[in-house]
Structure formats: structure tokens, C-alpha cells
Amino acid sequence: MFKFKHLFIICCALTVLVIGGCKSQFEKIRLSNDVTKKYQEAINLYNKKNYSKALILFEDLSQKYRGQQQAEDLNYYYAYTLYRLRDYTTARFQFKYFADNYPTSQYAEECRYMSAYCYYLDSPDYPLDQENTYKALDALQLFINLYPESDRAKQAADYISDLRGKLERKAFENAKMYYEIGGFQVYNYKSAVIALKNTQIDFPDIKYAEEIDFLIFKSQYLYAKNSLLIRQQERFEEALTYYNEFIEKFPTSTFKKEADQLKADTEKGIENAKKELAVIALEEAKYKELQRKAAEQDSVINSKTIKKSKNG
């Protein structure tokens, strides 16, 4: 995709030139074989913040200067031109190319950092696919590993923290979704408990820890409440375990009032389940006893009843 974006920028700049009619001074330089003059004009345009035109010249010069001494500075400006045009996808590639091919350059550290930073800028909002976020984390961590004493290392660490926060929120919202759709199918509440626990494991220091623990308890309560009677007691009892864990961690939680009410409902649920099961069990026992007595009576009746005459 970044190739299309990159080509689009160049095409737009060339279109403006074509619409201009007769050859401008820039167009003459662009078509010239004087690479030195073309390079000087590219730098001049860059300094004037005319990045679209500068990009056209840098594109042309990048091939012609390959392997030459001037290639280092050219690739440096080329990468920054893409960055200034907000083509972060192509820019990060060019910054990385510079850092890999000129490791002893005075700009190597800077370009390694900028490559990672472009990944950071390309990280999407949390509801979207987070592939670039993981790549940004890897790139930023690599920079810190390579340059632990750099002034940029702290900023890189801050970006890592920000990106992890985005992944945390995505994981939390995905897990919470099961709780929100639980009313459609009872198993969604069980899925919510599992997903929320997994989020805790993946992000032990997650900032949503309080709400997660509360939702684990509430989801388990709703799972028990909507279960078949024969399963309710054990599931309510598990909900009480989650309530105790929640209160132990967050005794002054903003969710405490609701949690306490749910706890009371959970305890009632346990008692009601026990009573109803006891009634059912008693009725079943009575029914079985009646069946037993009926069978005994049938046996007695059959033994005492006169036999039917063979002659009718």
C-alpha cells in the first residue's frame, strides 16, 4: 500500500508541473543531466519546505548517486522528505535503509530512531488491526537496546508505554464485549470470565484491573443466574470467590456498592437453588416411593386375585 501512497505524492507534484504549461526552471533542472545542480536544487527546495518538488529530485538522484560519497547525505534528506510529507510507511523504510547501510554515520542513531518513530506514527487506533503497533514496539525496543544511553531512549520508552496502553485497551474492550453481549447466549458470560482473566495474564499491570476484576465477578454471577437450576449453586459459589478476590484487592472500589448488592443476590441465588433442588429431590423421592408401593400392591393383588377360568 505504501507504494501507492508514495506514487500518488509524486504524481500530484508532476501533474502540477504539467498543468503549468511551458517548462519552468524546476522542470529544466529535473530533466537536466547535471546531477550536482539537481542535488543542490533538491536541498534548496527541502530547506524551503517545498517537499513535493524536492521528493521528485531526490527520487531521481537516489539511483544516480548509489555507491557514491554523496549518497549518504542524499538518503538522509530523502528519508526526511518522505517524513515531512507524512508518508510514514515509506519514510520508515528509508530511515531503516540509512541506519543499516551507514551504521557509522553521525545520523545512524537518529535514523534508527526515526524509523521506529514512523512505525509509532503509523500505529492505528485501538479498534483496528494492531500489526503496526507490534512492529513499532519491536523497533522502539531495538533502538533502546542499541542505544541505551541515548537521549532519545527515554522518549522511545514513553512511546512503548503508550503503545502498550493501546494494546491493553484493545484486549480489555474485546474481553468486555463478551459481557456486553452475554444476554444473547448464556455461554457469552462464561467467555467473558475467561477473556477477562486472559487479559489480566497478558497485561498484569493493566490500568483497567479494578473494572476487570469487577466484571469477572459480575459475569460469573450472570452466568450462574442464567444457568439451569441444577448448575446454579456451584456457579454462584464460584461467583462469591471472585467477589472476595475483588474486594480484597479493591476494598474502596467505585464498583463496591453494586458488587455488594450482587453478592447479596448471589447468596440468595445459592439458597434458592438449594431449596428448589431439595423440593425437586423430595418430589422425585415421593414419586419413586409411590411407584415402589404401587408395584408391591400390584404384586399382592396379582397373588390374591382369583385366577380366570380356563373355560372362560
* Model confidence pLDDT, tens digit, residues 148-162: 999 999 999 999 999
Residue stretches of the chain with pLDDT short of 70: 1-23, 301, 304-312
Looking at residue 18, what is its pLDDT? 47
Distance between CA atoms of 190 and 151, rounded to whole angstroms? 47
Looking at residue 160, what is its pLDDT? 98
Q: Which residues contact 190 (CB under 8 A, 6 or more apart)?
A: 219, 223
Looking at residue 301, what is its pLDDT? 63
Q: Where are the alpha helices (DSSP H) in 122-228?
A: 131-146, 152-180, 187-202, 209-225
Distance between CA atoms of 127 and 116, rounded to whole angstroms? 22
Looking at residue 19, what is its pLDDT? 46
Looking at residue 142, what is its pLDDT? 97
Q: Which pTM value belongs to this model?
A: 0.78
Cell of 249: 484487592
Tell me which CATH code domain 1-122 carries.
1.25.40.10
Domain ranges of the chain: 1-122
Q: Where are the alpha helices (DSSP H) in 65-87?
A: 71-84
Looking at residue 17, what is its pLDDT? 44
Distance between CA atoms of 148 and 113, rounded to whole angstroms? 12
Looking at residue 21, what is its pLDDT? 45
Q: b/e for 160-172, b at 16 or more Cβ within 10 A?
A: beebeebbbbbbb
Looking at residue 287, what is its pLDDT? 78
Report yes or no: 119 and 139 within 8 Å, Cβ to Cβ. Answer: yes
